[in-house]
A and B are shown apart, each in its own frame.
Chain A
Amino acid sequence: MSIEIKDVRYVVNDTCLLDKITFDINPGEITTILGPNGAGKSTLIKLISGDMKPSSGEILYDKILLNKLTLENKSHRRSVLSQSQNINFDFTVRDIVEMGWINDLNNIFEKILNEVSKECSIEDIIERKFMHLSGGEQKRVHLARTLLHIKSIENIYENKYILLDEPLANLDIFYEFKLIKIIRKLAKNGLGILMILHDINLAYKFSNKIALMLDGKVKYFGNPEKVINQKNLEKIYGLKMKIFTKPFFIKYY
């Protein structure tokens, strides 16, 4: 049981944005997409989350065609963090996080709210106005909302997934490291995770699978050890690279 992406192609106005995308997202694993700007990473997340339909090919959630799922049904199976939008009214951080709760306001609500607030280190800012936060703080609030969303529905479906579009953008190295460890913990608890990252070192260290994308295609897919090598990275990013193995570190110039 997993999310299966089968030969997905996405065309807008005769421009092929995504082509021949095939891979699986397994529960308990972190799958990371790496690639330069404009490779089609965010578009792919939108297709997998079911916001848009692929032009051809199919996406299955635990053997069920994504197209057959209702909005509500999709919301029970996956939560999504996207590059966030402005909020024009004076909502508090708590208000924004609570919007992720898609279940009844039952007994476990407060417990899980506290749990995700702690994980994303927003307990201290939870009563503040969202509008006045810095970019990194806003990111953490949205991440907390995404986590609350997936935790609000319990045990309806066997597998649940989180799709994260640059979860670490705008974060300082402290929170970057803290949050990626939380993401790893979620995966260990059985969630299937797909995320877009720009930090190759972090991706190498924390992912189970890596997809290297370029020009709308997944050029390389597999274990980090298999995919991350000098030849592949130089081809994807068009930069000269050098990989040090002990400790693992990539240098580019």
Chain B
Amino acid sequence: MGTNIVKVDKNFFRYLNNIQLKLILVFIAFTLICTLFGFFFGSFDISIKKFIYGNLSQLEKEILYQIRIPRVLLSAFVGAALGLAGACLQGLFRNPLADPGLIGVSAGAALGAVLSIVIFSNLLEHHFLGIYLLPISSVTGALVVILILYSFSKGFIYDGVTYMLLIGIAINALASVGIGILTFVSDDAQLRGLTFWMMGSFANSQWNLVIPSIFLILISIIWIIPQSRKIDIIQIGELEASRLGINVIKLKFIVIMSSAIMVGVSVSISGMIGFIGLVIPHLVRLIGGVNHNYLLIGSAFLGSSLLVLSDILSRITIQPAELPVGLVTSAIGAPFFLWLVLRIKKS
């Protein structure tokens, strides 16, 4: 398989047409602009002019470096992770309606997170490694769900799509039961933590959590992007792809693992943020095409920019309080999803 990997890399940009290359540059520029915008605007505006001349007050510096920058960077990477995971899972399951939320992966991650909040809460607070327990248990939750889904949908090749979504519904229901029970037995402090997970928010972004999260998401992105062409080819069928020399089992492993890590990390640090993973890949396909060399990169950057924007919205709409960002993305994503369903029905 060694030569095969090199082959895909060498031709990576040749599978992008000129329009797609330009679109990707536009997405990147848009992401950078949104990120900059996010640094300086919020319930407390920081003057860009003052920043450039280097005469920010102590308070402004504190806000910018300790609150604003980690928060915006985190939302950018979580957006990239969710958009990319959505695109990858839709590709792997060969189903445009797959989404980490719909198929229960986010719920699994949330259950993992909530488990660690309620059961290991002592450890979380008192051990210096405690802050990492939650991400790890969340990633594990996401991984377990993806493995369950996969092992079930593999057996039903022709009805795989329906079964997968039905299994997703069951997993979502089971996870809510688990979360419900844990909510019931939790004390007040734990309950506050739980609510945060349910709605999704970047309010608690601290550098010591943001850095490992960004690191893990970045590794997953680097791991998955070179597989783009193979995800294209798998669209003609897993068997056909393997006859073309693609190690489908390895590809599935990479897609499933990296998606689980990205979704798990995102949910663990920012809670349940719906619809990014479902809607962004569709938007990117509508704009520029379906091939994954374009789709994966495009989804990462568009997911990133739109989540940064959503977070800005969540910070400025009801100042000085803030909306959970999960509400913002769902409020925008749900109508879009509805429109999408109607559009599919029409064609």
Interface set of A (CB-CB < 8 Å, partner B) = 49, 51, 70-72, 74-76, 78-80, 82, 84-85, 87-91, 95-96, 99-100, 102-105, 142, 145, 149
B290 within 8 A of A: yes
Within 8 A of A (CB), among B74-121: 94-96
Q: B3 to chain A: closest CB distance in Å?
A: 7
Interface residue total, chain B, C-beta cutoff 8 A? 26
Taking a contact as CB atoms closer than 8 A, the residue among B96, B233, B246 that contacts A89 in the complex is B96
Beta-carbon contact of A91 and B290 below 8 Å? yes
For B7, list chain A residues within 8 Å (CB). Answer: 103-104
| Contacts known (A85-B237, A88-B94); A74 close to B3, Cβ less than 8 A | no
In the complex, whether B18 has a CB less than 8 A from a CB of chain A is no
Q: How far is the CA of A100 from the CA of B7 in the complex (A)?
A: 14
Q: Which residues of B sit under 8 angstroms from A91, Cβ to Cβ? A: 232, 235, 290-291
Q: Would A99 and B236 be within 8 Å (CB), given that A71-B247, A72-B3 are in contact?
A: yes
* B291 contacts A75, C-beta separation under 8 Å: no
Contact A96 B236 (CB under 8 A): yes
Chain B 14-57 interface mask (CB, 8 Å, partner A; 1/0): 10000000000000000000000000000000000000000000
Whether A100 contacts B244 in the complex (CB less than 8 A), given A87-B235, A88-B94, comes out as yes
B236 touches A71 (CB 8 A): no
Query: Could you tell me the distance between the alpha carbons of A239 and B93 in the complex, rounded to whole angstroms?
Result: 44
Chain B residues near A89: list those with CB within 8 A. Answer: 94, 96, 235, 285, 290
Distance between Cα atoms of A158 and B239 in the complex (Å): 25
Query: Is A85's CB under 8 angstroms from B11's CB?
Result: no
Smallest Cβ-Cβ distance to B243: which chain A residue? A80
Chain B interfacial positions (CB closer than 8 Å to A): 1, 3-4, 7, 10-11, 14, 94-96, 232-233, 235-237, 239-240, 242-247, 285, 290-291
Instruction: Report the separation of the CA atoms of residues A149 and B242 in the bound assembly, to the nearest whole angstrom.
Output: 13
A149 — which chain B residues lie within 8 A by C-beta?
244
- The CA of A44 and the CA of B233, in the complex, are separated in Å by 24
CB neighbours of A142 from chain B (8 A): 236
Q: In the complex, what's the smallest C-beta–C-beta distance from B114 to chain A, in angstroms?
A: 34
CB nearest neighbor in A for B3 = A72
Are A88 and B243 in contact, CB atoms less than 8 angstroms apart? no
A100 and chain B: residue at smallest CB distance: B244
On whether the beta carbons of A71 and B242 are closer than 8 Å, the reply is: yes
On chain B, the residues within 8 Å of A49 by CB distance are 243
How near does chain A come to B18, taking the closest CB pair, in angstroms? 15
Q: Which of B95, B232, B240, B247 contacts A85 (CB 8 A)?
A: B240
Residues of B within 8 A of A75 (CB): 243-245
B285 proximity list for chain A (CB < 8 A):
89-90
**Can you show 14 pairs from A to B with CB atoms below 8 A apart?**
A49-B243, A75-B244, A79-B243, A82-B239, A85-B236, A87-B94, A88-B235, A89-B235, A91-B235, A96-B236, A99-B232, A99-B235, A99-B244, A145-B236
Interchain CB contact (< 8 A) of B243 among A51, A85, A96: A51
> What 8 A-B pairs are tightest by C-beta distance, nearest first?
A75-B245, A72-B245, A85-B237, A89-B290, A99-B233, A80-B243, A105-B11, A105-B14
Roughly how many angstroms separate A70 CA and B242 CA in the complex, as a whole number? 11
B239 cross-chain contacts in A, Cβ below 8 A = 51, 82
Residues of B within 8 A of A90 (CB): 285, 290
Verify B244–A102 contact, CB threshold 8 A.
yes
Q: Nearest chain A CB to B286's CB is how many angstroms away?
A: 10
State the CA gap A157–B285 with chains docked (Å).
Answer: 40
The reply to whether B95 and A88 form a contact with Cβ atoms under 8 Å apart is yes
Cα–Cα, bound, A85→B285 (Å): 21
Question: Cα distance A104–B11 when bound, in Å?
Answer: 7
Report which residue of A51, A85, A89, A103 has the largest number of chain B beta carbons within 10 angstroms of its beta carbon.
Answer: A89
| Residues on A with beta carbons closer than 8 Å to the beta carbon of B14 | 105
Q: Are A72 and B235 in contact (CB-based, < 8 A)?
A: no
Least Cβ–Cβ distance between A245 and chain B, in angstroms? 40
With both beta carbons as reference points, the residue of chain B lying nearest to A79 in the complex is identified as B243
The answer to whether A82 and B244 touch (CB under 8 A), given A89-B235, A104-B7, A104-B10, is: no
Cβ–Cβ < 8 Å partners of B96 in chain A:
88-89
Which one of A71, A74, A88, A104 contacts B1 once the chains associate, using CB atoms below 8 Å? A71
B233 CB contacts on chain A under 8 angstroms: 99
**B243–A72 contact, CB under 8 A?**
no
Shortest Cβ distance from residue A187 to the other chain B in the assembled complex, whole angstroms: 20
Chain A residues positioned under 8 Å from B1 (CB to CB): 70-72
A238 to chain B, nearest CB (A): 29
CB distance from A1 to the nearest CB of B (A): 21
Instruction: Give the complex CA separation of A76 and B233 in angstroms.
Output: 16
Query: Chain B nearest CB: distance from A71 CB in Å?
Result: 5
User: Which B residue sits closest to A80, measured CB to CB?
Assistant: B243
Q: How far is the CB of B139 from chain A (nearest CB, A)?
A: 28
B236 CB contacts on chain A under 8 angstroms: 84-85, 87, 96, 99, 142, 145
User: Please, which residues of chain A bring their CB within 8 A of the CB of B246?
Assistant: 71
CA distance A51 to B237 in the complex (A): 13
Q: Which chain A residue shows the least CB distance to B295?
A: A89
Q: Which residues of A contact B290 (CB under 8 A)?
A: 89-91, 95
Cα separation A49 to B285 with both chains bound (whole Å) = 34
Complex Cα gap A80–B207 (Å): 53
A51 near B244 (CB under 8 angstroms)? no
The interface residues of chain B lying within 8 Å CB-to-CB of A103 are: 7
Neighbour of B245 across the interface among A71, A88, A96, A105, CB < 8 A = A71
CB distance from B101 to the nearest CB of A (A): 19
Which A residues are in CB contact (< 8 Å) with B243?
49, 51, 74-75, 78-80
CB-based nearest B residue for A163? B243
